[in-house]
């Protein structure tokens, strides 16, 4: 199984031991994934393992799917309430459409439709599993010719990073209507980087990554599906695929090897380009059918909570006046998202004459949640910088990929709300940091002088006391944050909270039209 292995045996005498090691690696990965999946289910269901429990607006996507089968995009008021956009007296979800599409086969064949907990749990498990496999693939691809199948220690190490001290734990926190689009997007991001593990390893070895048409098409498909889950996260995947398609042309031009290859190179980018274009066209069409404008993702003036709950309070005023995304919010929201520096955030916002940003609990800094990811990002950046002095083109490829992955990070920092779940939009950049740093650590001894390796890998490598301390801190903080997150009534479907089950405050009546 090439997902978990590196090189081939040196001689026929090693075949038996190699096969046994491979079976052990597969078995240990399977056991870890099964145990972690059960832990996710326990977290998601508060230990009840009940898939039928109440979740915040949990019926929204089933209602959406039923409407799609009837040729409509609006949903009943009870399905989405004030969380929807009220346009022409009808109620619309402004989230991505793909979670509804997942329910269509059940409805079409008149089968029981699984509840949101089933979908979120499967999405969380799939996301963590593909990230787990991507880490193992990266370690195998950069370990050299003497690599062997991953041992149990390596599998557990990769599993802790993918399943425990991981952004995926946020997704497993609840099955609210807010989490399903993130679930779709996070699966796409994890698959995206599982596919990219080999090209990233190639760049870290000092070679120029070359992706086939099939690989580019698979990456484009992941980006296209992500667009119909969480568009801000899809932007990074779109830009990354576009960059890699352009690279197939730019690199031969720069090296003078274009002669006779232009048609073939253009064709290589044509299929992924068509996939990206088709997904984008469908996205614009859905916006037009819902809101009358292909570029409109949901008119703020028609937002139910603005009309019937918040009014023009400072936060809603900020969304209306400053826009959903405002570049001036990036620095204060960076401080808030990463370090929970709420006082400094408010000071900067007031100093720059911005309207209020809403900080939604739990307020826990992402820097402390995922210390190993940031550490590996630093290690990978140093490695790439030094490697680029000898072979610039792989470093340029990696820099382009990093820039593309940074776009989702910047977009969510510019948003008018800082929420715990929004930290999932960091994942394209975080996963690149993680894989790049792991690959750099494995590649260092063969690509750069040993004396250079001993200083940095000793300090930041996975066997160092510092790294192990950071991993332990992140495991503790992430588990604490996951349980703290469960206390948020807004997201966990408390049955006594009419506001979040029907979108109404007690005593309110559903509006008959957008006011």
Between 260 and 242, the higher pLDDT residue:
242
Per-residue pLDDT, 5 = 45
Question: Is pLDDT at 463 greater than 90 in this prediction?
Answer: no
Per-residue pLDDT, 75 = 94
Return the C-alpha torsion angle 365, 369, 373, 379, nearest 10.
Answer: 70
Instruction: Quote the CA–CA distance of 79 and 68 in Å, as a whole number.
Output: 14
Question: Mean pLDDT throughout 277-297?
Answer: 95
| φ, ψ for residue 4, nearest 5 deg | -115, 5
Q: Where does residue 49 fall: left (phi above 0), alpha (psi -120 to 50 degrees), or beta otherwise?
A: left
Per-residue pLDDT, 443 = 82
Instruction: Quote the CA–CA distance of 179 and 184 in Å, as a whole number.
Output: 9
Instruction: Quote the CA–CA distance of 1 and 389 in Å, as a whole number.
Output: 36
Instruction: Quote the CA–CA distance of 482 and 472 in Å, as a whole number.
Output: 15
Per-residue pLDDT, 489 = 65
Between 325 and 253, the higher pLDDT residue:
325
Per-residue pLDDT, 146 = 46
Q: Where does residue 436 fall: left (phi above 0), alpha (psi -120 to 50 degrees), or beta otherwise?
A: alpha
Any idea how long the chain is? Answer: 515
Cis peptide before 362 (omega within 30 of 0): yes
Per-residue pLDDT, 442 = 85
Query: Which of 266, 305, 280, 296 shows the shortest CA–CA distance to 220?
Result: 280
Instruction: Quote the CA–CA distance of 378 and 384 in Å, as a whole number.
Output: 10
Question: Is pLDDT at 507 greater than 90 in this prediction?
Answer: no
What sign for the dihedral angle of Cα 265, 270, 271, 277? positive
**Out of 29-33, 131-135, 333-337, 351-355, which region has the weakest mean confidence (pLDDT)?**
351-355
Per-residue pLDDT, 314 = 81
Q: Which of 44-53, 236-245, 258-267, 446-455 has the highest mean pLDDT?
A: 236-245
Instruction: Quote the CA–CA distance of 213 and 362 in Å, as a whole number.
Output: 43
Question: Is pLDDT at 474 greater than 60 in this prediction?
Answer: yes
Question: Mean pLDDT throughout 274-291?
Answer: 96
CB 424 within 8 A of CB 182: yes
Question: Mean pLDDT throughout 17-27?
Answer: 78
At residue 513 the predicted structure's pLDDT band, cuts being 50, 70 and 90, is very low
Instruction: Quote the CA–CA distance of 147 and 188 in Å, as a whole number.
Output: 29
Per-residue pLDDT, 515 = 39
Per-residue pLDDT, 437 = 94
Percentage of the chain lying above the pLDDT 90 cut: 60
| φ, ψ for residue 178, nearest 5 deg | -75, -25
Instruction: Quote the CA–CA distance of 496 and 277 in Å, as a whole number.
Output: 45
Per-residue pLDDT, 445 = 60
Instruction: Quote the CA–CA distance of 266 and 249 in Å, as a whole number.
Output: 7
| φ, ψ for residue 77, nearest 5 deg | -60, -40
Domains of the chain by residue range = 29-58+115-298+364-502, 60-114
């Amino acid at each position: 199984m090439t997902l978990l292995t590196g090189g081939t045996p040196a001689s026929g005498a090693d075949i038996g031991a190699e096969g046994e090691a491979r079976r052990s690696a597969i078995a240990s990965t399977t056991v870890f994934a099964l145990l972690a999946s059960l832990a996710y289910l326990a977290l998601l269901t508060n230990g009840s393992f009940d898939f039928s429990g109440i979740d915040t607006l949990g019926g929204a996507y089933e209602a959406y799917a039923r409407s799609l089968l009837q040729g409509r995009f609006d949903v009943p008021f009870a399905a989405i309430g004030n969380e929807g956009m009220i346009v022409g007296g009808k109620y619309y979800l402004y989230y991505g459409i793909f979670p509804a599409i997942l329910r269509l086969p059940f409805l079409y064949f008149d089968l029981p439709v699984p509840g949101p907990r089933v979908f979120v749990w499967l999405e969380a498990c799939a996301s963590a599993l593909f990230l787990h496999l991507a880490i193992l693939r990266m370690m195998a691809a950069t370990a050299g010719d003497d690599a062997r199948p991953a041992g149990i220690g390596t599998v557990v190490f990769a599993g802790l990073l993918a399943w425990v001290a991981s952004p995926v734990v946020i997704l497993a926190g609840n099955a609210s209507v807010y989490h399903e689009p993130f679930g779709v997007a996070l699966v796409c991001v994890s698959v995206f980087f599982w596919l990219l593990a080999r090209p990233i390893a190639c760049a870290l070895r000092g070679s120029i990554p070359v992706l086939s048409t099939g690989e580019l098409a698979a990456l484009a498909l992941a980006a296209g599906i992500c667009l119909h889950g969480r568009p801000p996260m899809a932007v990074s995947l779109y830009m990354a695929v576009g960059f890699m398609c352009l690279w197939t042309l730019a690199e031969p031009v720069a090296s003078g090897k274009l002669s006779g290859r232009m048609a073939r190179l253009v064709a290589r980018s044509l299929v992924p380009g068509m996939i990206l274009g088709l997904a984008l066209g469908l996205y614009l069409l859905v916006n037009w059918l819902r809101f009358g404008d292909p570029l409109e993702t949901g008119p703020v003036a028609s937002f139910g909570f603005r009309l019937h709950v918040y009014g023009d309070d400072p936060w809603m005023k900020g969304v209306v006046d400053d826009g959903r995304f405002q570049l001036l919010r990036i620095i204060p929201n960076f401080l808030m998202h990463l370090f929970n520096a709420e006082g400094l955030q408010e000071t900067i916002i007031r100093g720059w004459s911005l309207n209020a940003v809403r900080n939604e609990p739990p307020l826990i800094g992402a820097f402390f949640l995922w210390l190993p990811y940031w550490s590996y990002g630093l290690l990978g950046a140093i490695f790439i910088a030094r490697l680029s002095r000898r072979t610039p083109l792989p470093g340029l490829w990696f820099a382009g990929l990093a820039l593309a992955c940074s776009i989702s990070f910047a977009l969510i920092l510019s948003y008018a709300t800082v929420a715990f779940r929004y930290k999932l939009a960091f994942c394209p950049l975080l996963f690149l940091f993680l894989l790049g740093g792991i690959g750099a650590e494995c590649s260092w001894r063969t690509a750069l002088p040993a004396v250079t390796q001993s200083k940095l890998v000793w300090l930041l490598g996975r066997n160092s006391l510092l790294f192990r301390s950071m991993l332990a801190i992140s495991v503790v903080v992430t588990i604490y944050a996951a349980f703290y997150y469960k206390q948020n009534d807004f997201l966990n479907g408390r049955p006594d909270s009419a506001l979040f089950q029907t979108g109404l405050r007690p005593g309110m009546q559903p509006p008959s039209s957008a006011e």
